[in-house]
Structure 1
Amino acid sequence: MWLLLPFVLLPIIEIALFIQVGGVIGVLPTILLVLLSAVLGVAVMRRQGALAMLDMQRAMQEFRDPTRPMAHGALIMLAGGLMVVPGLFTSALGLLLLIPPLRDLVLRQMGKRVRVAGAAYRGREGDFMSDVPPGYGRRRGDGVIDGEYSVQDDTPAPIREGLTDQAQKPGNSGWTRH
């Protein structure tokens, strides 16, 4: 129900704003305002999106945390997208998201609601799989892996039975018997 609410309220708000603004400045200026907002939104997405990407790359090259530039870049792209959507309310929201202190406020509010769930490595030095549960790639037992090998300086005349496939078919890697 809560997810459906924005899809019902947003068109009503946009229509009401079109009527109010169109009544004050006229129909043609209102349409031009919406078109100008869309063009400005595309320009913002191109320019600011590229700058945010450069800022993120710079943060990674300087070994800084890239999450802040990524989050700001995402909000800038959202702002540009809101400006492209035809409507005065969405354009106003997009313009507000272009203000850096307001983006910081939005990110802080979003950060309060984010809950991180994940795993951390807590192994002994030199044992990078100390906390991996059995069955997830850790070898148990004596650690011996049986295998066969042969040293070949020249290509052997006959192919030894059991080591490789006799005939290589297209798509056959030779690692398994078919």
Structure 2
Amino acid sequence: MAALFVLVFLVVPLVELYVLIQVGSAIGALNTIALLVVMGVVGGWLMKREGLGVVRRVQAQLQAGRVPATEVVDGFLILFGGALMLTPGFMSDALGLALLIPPVRALVRVGLARRLRARVVGRHGEGRHRRDDEGRGGAGYLDV
């Protein structure tokens, strides 16, 4: 866990700074700033568009009586992508923009589901476990 904090709070900002300096020396300081601003504007527009789309899909799923699990994960990925867009730097902007693109988000969602499933199944095993109060007329649920 400590290595993750070192990576996130020390290594990533240093690499972002290095990339900014390299891009700035290649295209100039004003062009670098302009490019960052344009990426921020495009990211903000994409975040708004994709976020509103997710809200509409969540409402449709709820009205249909279904759990909007995919849409909720998409919403979190859009939020994370937007937060990355607010972080100055080309790498974070590129990752944030990628998370705002639906096909990329779908790949990330599938990867996250696989990883979560492996962790849950790895810890608890597969299959359904029967509780003592199921199936024998025990403490069931009452419809009120």
TM range (shorter): 0.7 to 0.9
Confirm or deny that 1:42 pairs with 2:55: no
SS in 2 for 1:2: helix
Aligned to 1:3: 4
Contact 1:14/1:87 (8 A) holds in 2 = yes
In structure 2, distance between residues paired with 1:122 and 1:36: 59
What is the one-letter code of the residue matched to 2:86? V
Q: 1:103 Cα deviation (Å)?
A: 1.4
- Which protein is bigger by CA-based radius of gyration? 1
Contact 1:39/1:84 (8 A) holds in 2 = no
Runs of 4+ residues over 6 Å off in structure 1: none
Confirm or deny that 1:68 pairs with 2:81: no
In structure 1, distance between residues paired with 2:31 and 2:16: 16
Q: 1:73 Cα deviation (Å)?
A: 1.8
Alpha carbons of structure 1 residues 23 and 66: separation in structure 2 relative to 1, 3 Å: same
What is the one-letter code of the residue matched to 1:99? I
Q: 1:109 Cα deviation (Å)?
A: 1.6
Q: 1:71 Cα deviation (Å)?
A: 0.8
TM-score by length of 1: 0.62
In structure 2, distance between residues paired with 1:51 and 1:92: 21
Which has the bigger relative contact order, CA under 8 A and spacing at least 6?
Answer: 2
Structure 1 or 2: larger helix share? 2
Contact 1:37/1:91 (8 A) holds in 2 = yes
Q: Once the two structures are superposed, what CA deviation does each residue of 1:75-119 show, in whole Å capped at 9, x if it has no partner?
A: 1222122112111110000111123222122112211222288x9
TM-score by length of 2: 0.75
Aligned to 1:24: 26
Q: 1:126 Cα deviation (Å)?
A: 8.2
How many residues align structurally? 128
In structure 2, distance between residues paired with 1:37 and 1:66: 30
Contact 1:72/1:103 (8 A) holds in 2 = yes
Identity percentage over the alignment? 37
In structure 2, distance between residues paired with 1:35 and 1:122: 59
What is the one-letter code of the residue matched to 2:58? M
Q: CA RMSD in A?
A: 2.6
In structure 2, distance between residues paired with 1:62 and 1:107: 22
Contact 1:34/1:86 (8 A) holds in 2 = yes
What is the one-letter code of the residue matched to 2:3? W
In structure 1, runs of 5+ residues without a counterpart are: 130-178
Q: 1:122 Cα deviation (Å)?
A: 3.8
